[in-house]
């Protein structure tokens, strides 16, 4: 099965990288790969209020976090773009801020996609930030196929 228009939900974690690899394998040459990066709303509250009690310092810290996150996202998108070009795919990207499941549902309705490809939730015991993705809500709300690629070595 070769796909022509894929929505890839990926943010660079190990599980998301497995989804990227699967997307590259499943897309035919010349296919469109739309890369969705969701910045979870939890980042909006990362101002360090508990220890930064000065408004100016809090704003400086918030700008620092936004800059760091932006650089990480840009580096990740550049990496996926290079790989997409190597597979002769038409790459586009989109960054949304919000709840992961809601952003993915909305993005899926904005294009004529053959399939959504994303990584599965991180297994228990694997360190890192836990996704707030509501997979039950997601699967009930989608009108196109969803492929959840298993976490590596699971």
- pLDDT of the residue at 30: 97
- Say if residue 22's pLDDT is above 70: yes
User: Is 25 inside any structural domain?
Assistant: yes
Q: Are 9 and 36 contacting, i.e. CB atoms less than 8 angstroms apart?
A: yes
- Paired tokens of 124: 């228990």
Asked if residues 129 and 22 have their Cβ atoms less than 8 Å apart, the reply is: no
Could you tell me if residue 154 is inside a domain?
no
Confidence check: pLDDT of 59 > 90: no
Q: How far apart are CA 19 and CA 148, in angstroms?
A: 7
Q: Given pLDDT bands bounded at 50, 70 and 90, which one contains residue 43?
A: low
Reported pTM: 0.84
Q: What is the mean predicted confidence (pLDDT) over 11-39?
A: 93
Q: Which domain holds residue 74?
A: 3-149
Per-residue 3-state assignment (H helix, E strand, C coil) for 52-113: CCCHHHHHHHHHHHHHHHHHHHHHHHHHHHHHHHHCCCEEEEEEEEECHHHHHHHHHHCCCC
- Count how many domains the chain has: 1
CATH number, position 114: 3.40.50.620
- pLDDT higher than threshold 90 for residue 127: no
């Amino acid at each position: 099965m070769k796909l022509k228009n894929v929505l890839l939900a990926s943010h660079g974690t190990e599980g998301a990288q497995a989804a990227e690899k699967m997307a590259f394998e499943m897309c035919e040459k010349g296919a469109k790969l739309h890369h969705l990066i969701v910045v979870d709303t939890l980042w909006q509250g990362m101002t360090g209020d508990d220890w930064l009690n000065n408004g100016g310092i809090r704003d400086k810290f918030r700008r620092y976090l936004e800059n760091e996150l932006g650089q990480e996202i840009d580096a990740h998108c550049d990496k996926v773009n290079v790989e997409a070009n190597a597979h002769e795919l038409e790459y586009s990207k989109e960054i949304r801020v919000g709840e992961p499941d809601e952003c993915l549902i909305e993005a899926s309705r904005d294009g004529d996609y053959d399939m959504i490809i994303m990584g599965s939730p991180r297994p228990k015991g694997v360190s890192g930030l836990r996704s707030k993705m509501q997979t039950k809500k997601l699967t009930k709300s989608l009108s196109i196929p969803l492929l959840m690629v298993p976490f590596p070595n699971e």
